[in-house]
A and B are shown apart, each in its own frame.
Chain A
Amino acid sequence: MASIAVARRESTFWDTVWGWVTTVDHKRIGALYGITAFIFFMIGGVEATLMRMQLARPEQTLVSPDVFNQLFSMHGTTMIFLAIMPLGAAFFNIIIPLQVGARDVAFPRLNAFSYWTFLAGGLLLNSSWFLGGGLNAGWFAYSPLTGLTYNPGHGVDFWAVSLLVLGTASMAAAFNFIVTIVNMRAPGMSLTRMPVFTWMTLIVSILIVTAFPVITVALIELVFDRAFGFNFFNVFAGGDPLLWQHLFWVFGHPEVYILILPAMGIVSEVLPVFSRKPLFGYPFIIFSGIAIGVMGWMVWAHHMFTVGMGPVANTVFTLTTITIAVPTGVKIFNWVATVWGGQLTLKTPMLFSLGFIAMFIIGGLSGLMHAVSPSDAQQSDTYFIVAHIHYVLFGGAIFAIFSGIYYWFPKATGRLMNETSGKIHFWLTMIGFNLTFFPMHFVGLNGMPRRIATYSAGMGWDFWNMVETVGAFVIIAGILLFLHNFFRSLRKGEVAGNDPWDGRTLEWAIPSPPPEYNFERIPVVHSRDPFWEQKHPHPLGVPAGASQQRPGNRAQQPAVAHAAETHEVIHIPSPSYWPLITALGNAIAGYSLVYRFIPGLFIGGALTMFGLYSWYMEPTVKHENKKH
Chain B
Amino acid sequence: MAHGNSPAAAHHSGERQHPTPATYAKIATTLVLITMLEVGIFYVQALHSVVIPIFFILSVIKFALVVMFYMHLRFDARLLAWVFVGGLVLALAVVTALIGLFHKGLLLRP
Contacts of B5 in A (CB 8 A): 104, 106, 571, 573, 620
Interface code A391-404, partner B: CB below 8 Å = 1, 0 otherwise? 00000000000000
Bound together, the chains give a CA A210 to CA B91 distance in angstroms of 9
Bound together, the chains give a CA A182 to CA B83 distance in angstroms of 11
> Are B108 and A210 closer than 8 Å at their CB atoms?
no
Contacts of A573 in B (CB 8 A): 5
State how many angstroms separate the Cβ of B12 from the closest Cβ of chain A: 11
State how many angstroms separate the Cβ of A172 from the closest Cβ of chain B: 9
> Are B98 and A246 closer than 8 Å at their CB atoms?
yes
- Tell me the nearest residue of chain B to A107, going by C-beta: B4
State how many angstroms separate the Cβ of B37 from the closest Cβ of chain A: 32
Interface code B76-110, partner A: CB below 8 Å = 1, 0 otherwise? 00010000000100100110001001101000101
Judge whether A424 is part of the interface by a CB distance below 8 angstroms.
Answer: no
Judge whether B1 is part of the interface by a CB distance below 8 angstroms.
Answer: yes
> Are B108 and A312 closer than 8 Å at their CB atoms?
yes
Judge whether B2 is part of the interface by a CB distance below 8 angstroms.
Answer: yes
Contacts of B3 in A (CB 8 A): 107, 109-110, 615-616, 620
> Are B4 and A620 closer than 8 Å at their CB atoms?
yes
> Are B94 and A250 closer than 8 Å at their CB atoms?
yes
Q: Tell me if A's interface is mostly helix, strand, loop or mixed.
A: helix
Q: Tell me if B's interface is mostly helix, strand, loop or mixed.
A: helix
> Are A210 and B1 closer than 8 Å at their CB atoms?
no
List residues 297-339 of chain A with CB under 8 A from any CB of chain B.
Answer: 297, 301, 309-313
Contacts of B4 in A (CB 8 A): 106-107, 620
Judge whether A214 is part of the interface by a CB distance below 8 angstroms.
Answer: yes
Judge whether A368 is part of the interface by a CB distance below 8 angstroms.
Answer: no
> Are A612 and B1 closer than 8 Å at their CB atoms?
yes
Bound together, the chains give a CA A64 to CA B52 distance in angstroms of 55
Return the contact of A297 from the options B2, B90, B102, B110 (Cβ within 8 A). B90
- Tell me the nearest residue of chain B to A576, going by C-beta: B3
Bound together, the chains give a CA A616 to CA B2 distance in angstroms of 7
- Tell me the nearest residue of chain B to A110, going by C-beta: B1
Q: If the complex has contacts A106-B4, A107-B3, A109-B3, are A210 and B101 also in contact, measured as CB distance less than 8 A?
A: no
Contacts of B2 in A (CB 8 A): 616
- Tell me the nearest residue of chain A to B98, going by C-beta: A246
List residues 109-126 of chain A with CB under 8 A from any CB of chain B.
Answer: 109-110
State how many angstroms separate the Cβ of B29 from the closest Cβ of chain A: 34
Judge whether A516 is part of the interface by a CB distance below 8 angstroms.
Answer: no
State how many angstroms separate the Cβ of B77 from the closest Cβ of chain A: 11
- Tell me the nearest residue of chain A to B87, going by C-beta: A210
Bound together, the chains give a CA A573 to CA B104 distance in angstroms of 54
List residues 357-406 of chain A with CB under 8 A from any CB of chain B.
Answer: none
State how many angstroms separate the Cβ of B64 from the closest Cβ of chain A: 21
Bound together, the chains give a CA A214 to CA B94 distance in angstroms of 10
Q: If the complex has contacts A312-B108, A616-B1, A620-B3, are A297 and B93 also in contact, measured as CB distance less than 8 A?
A: yes
- Tell me the nearest residue of chain B to A571, going by C-beta: B5
- Tell me the nearest residue of chain A to B90, going by C-beta: A210
Bound together, the chains give a CA A243 to CA B98 distance in angstroms of 9
Contacts of A571 in B (CB 8 A): 5
State how many angstroms separate the Cβ of B74 from the closest Cβ of chain A: 21
Contacts of A620 in B (CB 8 A): 3-5
Bound together, the chains give a CA A612 to CA B3 distance in angstroms of 11
> Are A312 and B110 closer than 8 Å at their CB atoms?
yes
Bound together, the chains give a CA A243 to CA B101 distance in angstroms of 10
Bound together, the chains give a CA A99 to CA B2 distance in angstroms of 25
- Tell me the nearest residue of chain A to B93, going by C-beta: A297
User: Which of B1, B90, B93, B110 counts the most chain A CB atoms within 10 A?
Assistant: B1
Contacts of A110 in B (CB 8 A): 1, 3
Bound together, the chains give a CA A441 to CA B3 distance in angstroms of 51
- Tell me the nearest residue of chain B to A315, going by C-beta: B110
Bound together, the chains give a CA A179 to CA B79 distance in angstroms of 12
Bound together, the chains give a CA A251 to CA B79 distance in angstroms of 25
List residues 44-81 of chain B with CB under 8 A from any CB of chain A.
Answer: 79
Partner-B contacts on A (CB < 8 A): 104, 106-107, 109-110, 182, 210, 214, 240, 242-243, 246, 250, 297, 301, 309-313, 571, 573, 612, 615-616, 620
A and B contact pairs by CB, cutoff 8 A, 9 listed? A106-B4, A110-B3, A210-B87, A312-B108, A312-B110, A313-B108, A615-B3, A616-B1, A620-B5
Partner-A contacts on B (CB < 8 A): 1-5, 79, 87, 90, 93-94, 98, 101-102, 104, 108, 110
Q: Which 7 A-B pairs have the closest CB atoms?
A: A312-B110, A620-B3, A107-B4, A210-B90, A106-B4, A246-B98, A250-B94
